[in-house]
Amino acid sequence: VGTGNSETVKAYLDTLASTEQSLALDRLSDEERHAVLTTLVPEDAADLVALLPDVQAIELIEDLTPGEAAAIIDELPSNLKADLIGELEDDDAAAILNVMEPQAAADCLRLSEYEDDEAGGLMVTEMLKYPVTWTGAQVIADLGDNADLYRDYDVQYAYLVDDQERLIGVLRMRDLLLSKRGTPIIENMIANPLSVEDKSKIGELIDLFDRHHFFGVPVVTSTDGKLIGVVHRAAVEEARAEQHDSDFLKTQGIVGGEEIRSMPLIVRARRRLAWLSVNIVLNMLAASVIAVYQDTLSSVIALAVFLPIISDMSGCSGNQAVAVSLRELSMGLVRESEWMRVWLKEVSVGMINGLALGVLIAGVSFVWKGNVYLGLVVGLALCLNTMIAVSIGGLVPLVLKRFKVDPAIAAGPILTTVTDMCGFFLVLSIASSMLDKLQ
């Protein structure tokens, strides 16, 4: 890389699959990555940047001079362009926008203000847009003149606007093809087409694409109804996949929903520790229940063997319920208000599984110590605590969502703290009540 020129680097990258390209780039040092990007012509560098996860792309761009960065960003599709500018540090973004063409910079800045989960953040501005007063012949002439520009466009539909840039109709390429060339396009268009506002949320878009066979839907501003872009079905599906991805990492305690091992050590450690340190405090709180029952525990030391089992198993059962609730919420199969239904569904599973697990652990403890009452204590505690765990696990995501707390990151810690406390309390208080039979 160090000595190569644009052509050889490009030729080498072309031999790799896209996942291998990101892998290869991931493994280079910062200097080498910088060298690769500046060696490639901006267009090829942009293709490479487009393949990378966002965090990685941003790190790369921040290492470039504003001029180099602007040249590459200029070649990206409009939605990626705006994403990157939006996520860069303000200073860096300003420096890059400064060296871009004023018009392009203004567009970029405007787009970067949309959230990633809004129509405005998901749309591309690359689309066919014509005055509604044109004829078919004019459109065809334009398509011929700008064939190069339109190379990567979706040209199945052209969007027709009035002199205020407001969306009036949609012209299907097929209808244009079937009509006489001199016909005004207004005669072939679909009037009053469906559109979404720029601030529409992704849920609305998923819904719309579920109900219609569209490949894309036009986006208009909520303020003045101007046509500003198109959201493609694939962009919505991709955003949904990324959302699932980030939710998954959050449930496992990755704050921010994003970690790649090439990120700086200190950032990775800090984000993970943020979640762990809350957890350890909650854990100590739960374990304080054990401290209260120290005397019971020292008289029946065998109980200490079962405490971590009960804590762990209740966590497992509860997390199954959390996962199903999170998923049903994201699929729209459950509403925040339906806690009664969720509870009934969960507690019935909890009863069956709690009974099965309780009998199993009671049997094992009886075989180990030969004391029926010990079996009764741990079996009963695990059975009851399994029902408690699935109830809490099922309901906590609904409650958190209602109070606008992200259930993906918060449900797990709350669940384990409460079930640990209940589990320890059940084992040790039942044991205390029949202490004479256990010794």
First and final C-alpha spacing in the chain? 74
* Least distance (Å) between residue 233 CB and a second copy: 4
Q: Which is nearer to a second copy, 165 or 175 (CB)?
A: 175
| Angstrom distances, CA of residue 189 to CA of 129, 153, 271, 334, 358 | 13, 19, 53, 40, 68
Residue of the chain from 223, 265, 403, 404 that contacts a second copy (CB under 8 A)? 265
Q: Does residue 65 belong to the site contacting a second copy (CB under 8 A)? A: no
The site for a second copy, by CB under 8 A, has a size of 119
* Least distance (Å) between residue 35 CB and a second copy: 21
Residue of the chain from 6, 98, 115, 341 that contacts a second copy (CB under 8 A)? 341
* Least distance (Å) between residue 333 CB and a second copy: 6
Q: Does residue 249 belong to the site contacting a second copy (CB under 8 A)? A: yes
* Least distance (Å) between residue 3 CB and a second copy: 25
241-270 core/surface letters (b: 16 or more CB in 10 A; e: else): ebbeeebebbbebbbebbeeebeeeeeeee
Phi-psi region of 377 (alpha: psi -120 to 50; beta: other; left: phi over 0): alpha
| Calpha distance 43→57 (Å, rounded) | 15
What is the signed CA dihedral for 54, 56, 62, 68, rounded to 10 degrees? Answer: -90
Amino acid at position 13, single letter? L
| Angstrom distances, CA of residue 355 to CA of 349, 350, 363, 385 | 10, 8, 12, 11
* Least distance (Å) between residue 101 CB and a second copy: 23
Q: Which is nearer to a second copy, 91 or 340 (CB)?
A: 340
Give the footprint of a second copy on residues 168-207 (CB under 8 A). Answer: 172-174, 176-178, 203, 206-207
Q: Does residue 286 belong to the site contacting a second copy (CB under 8 A)? A: yes
CB atoms within 10 A of CB 115: 13
Residue of the chain from 78, 135, 138, 283 that contacts a second copy (CB under 8 A)? 283
Q: Which is nearer to a second copy, 1 or 143 (CB)?
A: 143
Task: With beta carbons less than 8 A apart as the criterion, state whether 123 and 115 touch.
Answer: no
Residue of the chain from 7, 43, 101, 238 that contacts a second copy (CB under 8 A)? 238
Residue of the chain from 7, 180, 190, 244 that contacts a second copy (CB under 8 A)? 244
Q: Does residue 152 belong to the site contacting a second copy (CB under 8 A)? A: yes
CA angle 151, 154, 156 (to 5 degrees): 120
Q: Does residue 83 belong to the site contacting a second copy (CB under 8 A)? A: no
Identify the three-state secondary structure at position 329: helix
Comparing C-alpha atoms, which of 18, 153, 21 is closest to residue 78?
153
Give the footprint of a second copy on residues 355-384 (CB under 8 A). Answer: 356-357, 360-361, 364, 368
Residue of the chain from 1, 183, 259, 339 that contacts a second copy (CB under 8 A)? 259
Q: For residue 26, what are its two tokens?
A: 């991931």
Q: Does residue 284 belong to the site contacting a second copy (CB under 8 A)? A: yes
Give the x-and-dash track for 24-53 against a second copy (CB under 8 A). Answer: --x--------------------x--xx-x
Residue of the chain from 6, 222, 298, 433 that contacts a second copy (CB under 8 A)? 298
């005004």: which residue's tokens?
184
